[in-house]
Amino acid sequence: MRLEIAEVRVRDAAFAEGTRVSDGVLHIDAGELKNLLAEDRRLASVSLELARPGDETRICPVKDVVEPRAKAGDIGMFPGLVGKAATVGSGRTYVLKGTAVVTTGPVIGFQEGIIDMSGPAAPFTPFSSTFNLAVVTEPADGLDPHQYEEAIRLAGLKAACYLGNAAASVDPNEVRVYETDPIPEAVRRHPGLPRVAYVYMLQSQGLLHDTYVYGVDAKKILPTLISATEVMDGAIVSGNCVSACDKNTTFHHLNNPIIEDLFERHGRDLAFAGVIVTNESVTLADKQRSSDYVANLAQALGVDGAVISKEGFGNPDSDLIMNCKKLEALGIKTVLITDEYAGRDGASQSLADADRAADAVISAGNANELIELPPQKKTIGRLSEVDSLAGGWAGSVAKGGSIRVELQTIIGATNELGFGRLSARGF
């Protein structure tokens, strides 16, 4: 499969009549977009606000972040949810680079988060560096949390597609090409290099902890092979309310740095053998079934090594270790990427499960670390919701608007794809 990512770089954004990109500026027709999103009667109201890098602005509680994209042809982005239920991962996709759609509204599941565009929290989130269109929604009366989550999720995806269409009408600044080979051909190529697969664990524990693959809830799937370019092209969408620090937003899935790094090293010091997507289950039987299936797929691919990432903490730690143990037992070397919940002093056991086989682990940081956030001039969303977020507590928000919370509340602070600045060094 051959995918072309046509990037249109954005240096500023503003509301205007007619959505378009002109001289690097994204002009957004707020009235037209609001009318589009308001077609969903599950939303009582929709408002739009802009947040720029360096602004003294706080967005909370954040539910998802989506990069604006448009797919050439008639399939459309985010197949099975917005676009047609058809295979993506090939052709050309247009991207508004440097921008993001951020959805916010009343708390759904307490595990949502904060984006500060400036101040001490800004370096912990990649979305302090993007021009953000905040889609602020209110649910219709009587709407249950699952219905509201779906409505606001679709609003974010639709807004991203709407903006992404503006990229398709201008010349891109750069076109990046990614290509994958059929498995038999891939096996024949690069015979002297170690074959490495990527095991991509998706949050799927239910109770608003869901991820979608081609529109299907991942807890309903068996582990399967997927092309890396399909992931980069919108096949995987976030629908979960896990802790903000290690939530894989839809933006993260579209820009997975593990996949990009494996592509970069492919043919140089390793042979990228493909992506195995798997779920994070609740019951022991489901965990055993999925980890068995991951091991079978990796063995069928004939890989020498695997990179394993996860999403969330606690219960998913057991899935991570099961996958590690079963691959290592087959002689497949593993590298694990995880964050830690090691207590505010860093002295507690950082994962809920462990094994001697997990001897190559990359840490994305300690989510329990405390941080003090000064007041911001502007809040998009509801500052009062911070007290009820994971990593916050009653009294987290002081009278003057300053906040004392754990890193757990900041979107992307300890992201387990390595999409961040935190790590740890062993001694």
Residue recorded with tokens 């038999």: 184
Residue 362 lies in a domain: yes
99's CB contacts (< 8 A; 6+ apart) are 10, 13, 26, 67, 68, 130, 131, 132, 133, 163
Give 82-125 as a DSSP string.
TB-SS--SSEEEEEEETEEEEEE-S-SSS--EEEESSSTTGGG-
Distance CA 274, CA 183 (A): 9
Residue 387 in this model has a pLDDT that exceeds 80? yes
The predicted structure's pLDDT at residue 426: 61
Greater pLDDT, 66 or 383: 66
Distance CA 236, CA 203 (A): 11
By the 8 A CB rule, do 115 and 123 touch? Answer: no
**Closest CA relative to residue 256, chosen from 280, 234, 278, 272:** 234
Distance CA 316, CA 240 (A): 14
Greater pLDDT, 139 or 424: 139
Q: How many CA atoms lie within 13 A of 413 on its CB side?
A: 30
Q: Hey, what are 85's tokens? A: 């239920």
Distance CA 166, CA 353 (A): 47
Q: Locate all alpha helices (DSSP H) within 233-310, ordered by sequence.
A: 250-254, 257-265, 284-301
By the 8 A CB rule, do 248 and 282 touch? Answer: no
Query: Containing domain of residue 84, as a range?
Result: 2-409
List pLDDT tens digits, range 8-38: 999 999 999 999 999 999 999 999 999 999 9
Q: Locate all alpha helices (DSSP H) within 217-366, ordered by sequence.
A: 228-232, 250-254, 257-265, 284-301, 315-329
- Active centre residues (catalytic): 241
Cis peptide upstream of residue 375 (ω within 30 degrees of 0): no
Distance CA 154, CA 212 (A): 12
Q: Hey, what are 420's tokens? A: 């961040």
CA distances, 127 to each of 5, 101, 425 (Å)? 20, 10, 25
Residue 424 in this model has a pLDDT that exceeds 80? no
Task: State the DSSP code for 127.
Answer: G
List pLDDT tens digits, range 180-236: 988 778 778 888 999 999 999 999 988 788 999 999 999 999 999 999 999 999 999
By the 8 A CB rule, do 315 and 341 touch? Answer: no
Residue 95 lies in a domain: yes
Residue 403 lies in a domain: yes
Residue 416 lies in a domain: no
**Closest CA relative to residue 250, chosen from 88, 102, 128:** 102
Greater pLDDT, 1 or 321: 321
Residue 427 in this model has a pLDDT that exceeds 60? no
Residue 424 lies in a domain: no
The predicted structure's pLDDT at residue 111: 72
Mean pLDDT, the chain, rounded, equals 93
Residue 417 lies in a domain: no
By the 8 A CB rule, do 75 and 83 touch? Answer: yes
List pLDDT tens digits, range 74-91: 888 999 999 888 999 999
Residue 202 lies in a domain: yes
Count up the domains in the chain and report the number: 1
CB atoms within 10 A of CB 304: 16
Q: Hey, what are 201's tokens? A: 């664990």
Helix (H) or strand (E) holding 420: none
Distance CA 387, CA 101 (A): 24
The predicted structure's pLDDT at residue 181: 86
Residue 415 lies in a domain: no
Residue 109: pLDDT band (50, 70, 90) is: low
Distance CA 218, CA 202 (A): 7
By the 8 A CB rule, do 53 and 130 touch? Answer: yes
Residue 110 in this model has a pLDDT that exceeds 70? no
List pLDDT tens digits, range 243-258: 899 999 999 999 999 9
Rounded average pLDDT over 330-357: 94
Sign of the torsion angle spanned by Cα atoms 159, 161, 162, 165: positive
Residue 240 in this model has a pLDDT that exceeds 80? yes
**Closest CA relative to residue 87, chosen from 254, 214, 276, 178:** 214
